[in-house]
């Protein structure tokens, strides 16, 4: 049930914005651009593209780039320094940043968080080549997730109280928006504990709200976006299940949220005031550590880090969320973040140090088509995290 705006204000009473220093709708991936025309049993895809993987190395964060051919196979195409440092949360079992969306592709640009140096890097993307355009302060401590839509970009900072910082995007550069820095009031340290760090930030399809998922608090924050990208002083705070982690929209006003504490996915309606109302019961999958979710066409895939599996879901014709397969794929490598492009699903495997690519068939089944090795394996509390595709 949605909590009231008054409660939200009360919870955040006395909190002030963090100080500052100078400094077209974005598809969820695999949705509008996905197609599945079949002739003679063949699965036809569109143009080639690229997949980007963030190494999150503490000594110097980098982005590895892979060329994607029309059959979904990946080949190495280069590695680029972000100009910042990788980071970590305390006690992370597999995923150092404990988040979804730490690497985001939008309108020919790539946004990468540098959690260890509190900055965000903006790259221009030309095929498989990256051009560093800017490194800018994230507006807080330990940035872990980036959301972009139109000319607005918002960064989620997990360290300390946690915060959201908004930016305006113009000609490939970010400029800080006045009155768009908001504290989450989480009272964490820096770095924060894995379980208490906020997990993801996203802008709704109508660009009316910025949403943030938390884990230990079991709630999501919704900030109304003003005319110039500024954020409402107090968010609407809604119950969002057992340790909400990753989320994605299935329509303009409904979204699917992973419950990492319940190993389930739930569906919510985004109300006019930004509150969330749950639609039907949560749908468990019987796996472990269900944290990330990625849409490909009519299907939604959840990564289960603890069991190294991918589960598949869909919203049926009656509007009910249903589990298609509890194990659509066994990755055998600590599945964390995912991305999609042109009907292919790409999964980042933290302990294996690889990325696997799957063709998504018309019935939602997955067929492994590519594996790239040689990425940093999770060890001593830190490892790669963040994946995106063009």
Instruction: For residue range 196-213, list pLDDT tens digits in order.
Output: 999 999 999 999 999 999
What pLDDT was estimated at residue 12? 33
Confidence of residue 48 (pLDDT cuts 50, 70, 90): confident
Q: Using CA atoms, how far apart are residues 101 and 50, in angstroms rounded to an integer?
A: 17
Q: Using CA atoms, how far apart are residues 83 and 14, in angstroms rounded to an integer?
A: 36
Residue 35 has pLDDT above 90, yes or no: no
- Across the range 82-90, mean pLDDT stands at 98
Lowest-confidence segment of 3-12, 61-70, 354-363 by average pLDDT = 3-12
Nearest 5°: phi and psi at 389?
Answer: -145, 150
| Cβ-Cβ contacts under 8 Å for 352 (sequence gap 6 or more) | 331, 332, 333, 334, 377
What pLDDT was estimated at residue 238? 98
User: First CA to last CA across the chain, in angstroms?
Assistant: 37
How buried is residue 141: exposed, middle or buried, by Cβ count under 10 Å (0-12/13-18/19+)? Answer: buried
Tokens of 18: 């963090």
The pLDDT tens digits of the residues spanning 214-265 come to 999 999 999 999 999 999 999 999 999 999 999 999 999 999 999 999 999 9
Tokens of 207: 């660009």
What pLDDT was estimated at residue 28? 44
CB 168 within 8 A of CB 177: yes
What pLDDT was estimated at residue 46? 53
Coil, helix or strand at residue 7: helix
CB 219 within 8 A of CB 251: no
CATH assignment of 5-13+44-389?
2.130.10.10
Q: Using CA atoms, how far apart are residues 121 and 234, in angstroms rounded to an integer?
A: 28
Q: How far is CA 335 from CA 301, 343, 354, in A?
A: 11, 19, 10
Q: Using CA atoms, how far apart are residues 61 and 149, in angstroms rounded to an integer?
A: 25
Q: Provide the whole-model pTM.
A: 0.89
Q: Does the bond joining 191 to the residue before it have cis omega, within 30 degrees of 0? A: yes
The pLDDT tens digits of the residues spanning 283-293 come to 999 999 999 99
């Amino acid at each position: 049930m949605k909590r009231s705006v008054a409660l939200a204000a009360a919870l955040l009473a006395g909190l002030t914005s963090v100080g500052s220093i100078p400094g077209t709708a974005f598809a969820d991936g695999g949705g509008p651009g996905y197609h599945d025309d079949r002739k003679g049993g063949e699965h036809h895809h569109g143009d080639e593209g690229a997949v980007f993987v963030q190494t999150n190395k503490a000594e110097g964060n980098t982005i590895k780039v892979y060329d994607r051919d029309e059959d979904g196979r990946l080949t190495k195409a280069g590695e680029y320094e972000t100009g910042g440092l990788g980071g970590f949360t305390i006690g992370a079992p597999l995923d150092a940043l404990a988040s979804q969306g730490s690497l985001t592709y939008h309108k020919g640009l790539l946004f990468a968080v540098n959690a260890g140096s509190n900055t965000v890097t903006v790259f221009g993307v030309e095929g498989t080549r990256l051009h560093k355009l800017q490194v800018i302060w994230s507006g807080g401590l330990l940035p872990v997730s980036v959301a972009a839509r139109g000319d607005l970009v918002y960064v989620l900072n997990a360290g300390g109280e946690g915060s959201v910082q908004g930016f305006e995007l113009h000609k490939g550069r970010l400029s800080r928006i006045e009155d768009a820095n908001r504290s989450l009031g989480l009272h964490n340290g820096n770095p924060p504990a894995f379980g208490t760090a906020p997990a993801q930030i996203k802008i709704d399809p109508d660009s009316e709200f910025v949403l943030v998922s938390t884990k230990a608090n079991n709630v999501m924050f919704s900030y109304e976006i003003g005319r110039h990208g500024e954020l409402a002083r107090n968010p609407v705070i809604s119950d969002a299940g057992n340790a909400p982690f990753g989320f994605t929209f299935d329509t303009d006003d409904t979204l699917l949220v992973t419950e990492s504490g319940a190993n389930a996915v739930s569906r919510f309606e985004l109300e006019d005031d930004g509150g969330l109302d749950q639609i039907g019961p949560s749908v468990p999958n019987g796996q472990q550590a269900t944290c990330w979710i990625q849409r490909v066409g009519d299907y939604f895939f959840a990564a289960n880090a603890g069991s190294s599996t991918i589960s598949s879901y869909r919203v049926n014709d009656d509007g009910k969320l249903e589990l298609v397969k509890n194990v659509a794929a066994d990755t055998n490598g600590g599945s964390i973040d995912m991305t999609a492009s042109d009907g292919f699903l790409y999964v980042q495997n933290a302990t294996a140090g690889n990325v696997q690519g799957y063709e998504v068939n018309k019935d939602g089944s997955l067929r492994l088509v590519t594996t790239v090795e040689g990425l940093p394996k999770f060890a001593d509390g830190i490892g790669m995290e963040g994946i995106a595709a063009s």
